Amino acid sequence: MVARMPHSCPRKRRTGRPRSVETDRAILDAARAALVDLGWGRFTMGDVAARAGVAKTTLYRRWAHKNELVVDAVAVLFDELELPDRGSLQADIEGVVLQFGRLLERPETKAALMAVVAESTTDAALRERIRTAIVDRQMRLVVLGRERAQERGELPPDPPDHDGARAAAETVGLIFDVIAGTVVHRTLVSAEPVDTVWARRLATILLEGLAGLD
């Protein structure tokens, strides 16, 4: 078997016919379309192959399991995440919340995200893939907003010593869990929209809460 990741090792193989990049794109597009049409439950590798005009073999040459394909298919949506500087920490938090909300309200994300997270509870490799492909892309925004707030003086700078760094990392993790978790819960469990009013209330809670944290 050859490397089962798209273009993973750029300097490995040189001979033979190279994999088609168009095919990669077609498959990921087909996968997202299939998620929209069928949801995760009836999502089928065979169906994706048919949509992409490709053989099943071609899929399995690139992804070992359908959950990995879905992670990659959804991951590109999280590349779009960006955080324009809105001038204040409050506004930036609202921005992050709205960005997350918008992404989770897309049918392909909604259908797939919790499914792969569920499978990741018994599959460490999948969990790692989700982290690098999706979670880290979200976390970036939280880290970025925090750095901006520190530059603006809205938050104190990170202490330089080891313990301080660890405490800062834990705080970032907590904030991230609050933002991402709350938005996910709102969207998938409560099944209600993430609008600007709601985003403002959540941002307010977080901001005030962080101020009182210590």
Partner DNA sequence: TCGTAACCGAGACGGTACGTCTCGTCTTGGA
Partner DNA sequence: TCCAAGACGAGACGTACCGTCTCGGTTACGA
Q: Which does 212 bind (CB under 5 to 8 A by kind): a copy of itself, DNA, none?
A: a copy of itself
Under rule CB under 7 A, residue 5 binds DNA: no
Q: Annotate 169-200 with DSSP letters as a single string.
A: HHHHHHHHHHHHHHHHIIIIIS-----HHHHH
Query: For a copy of itself, what does the binding mask look like between residues 22 and 61, x meaning CB under 8 A?
Result: -----------------xxx--------------------
Give me the residue label for tokens 């192959």.
49
Select from 46-54, 80-88, 95-103, 107-115 the region that touches a copy of itself (CB under 8 A).
107-115
Comparing CB distances to DNA, the nearer of 54 and 168 is 54
Distances (CA, A) of 204 to 110, 126, 184, 208: 26, 34, 18, 6
What DSSP character marks residue 96? Answer: H
> Taking a C-beta distance cutoff of 8 angstroms, is the pair 111, 40 a contact?
yes
CB of 136 to a copy of itself, least distance (A): 11
11 near DNA (CB under 7 A): no
User: In the complex with DNA, which residue's Cβ is closer, 40 or 100?
Assistant: 40
**Which of 59, 119, 133, 142 lies at the binding interface for a copy of itself (CB under 8 A)?**
119
Question: In whole angstroms, what is the distance from residue 191 CA to residue 210 CA?
Answer: 27
Structure tokens at 157: 């700078």
Residue 211 as a binder of a copy of itself (CB under 8 A): the answer is yes
| Euclidean distance between CA atoms 103 and 97, whole angstroms | 10
Q: Identify which of 66, 52, 12, 11 has the alpha carbon closest to the alpha carbon of residue 2.
A: 12
Residue of the chain from 18, 23, 127, 164 that contacts a copy of itself (CB under 8 A):
127
Is residue 120 a contact point for a copy of itself (CB under 8 A)? Answer: yes
**Residue of 22, 119, 21, 105 whose CA lies nearest to 70:** 119
- Residue numbers at the binding site for DNA (CB under 7 A): 2, 13-20, 23, 42-47, 53-58, 60-62, 64-66
- Residue numbers at the binding site for a copy of itself (CB under 8 A): 39-41, 110-115, 117-123, 127, 130, 135, 173-174, 176-178, 180-186, 188-192, 198, 201-202, 204-213
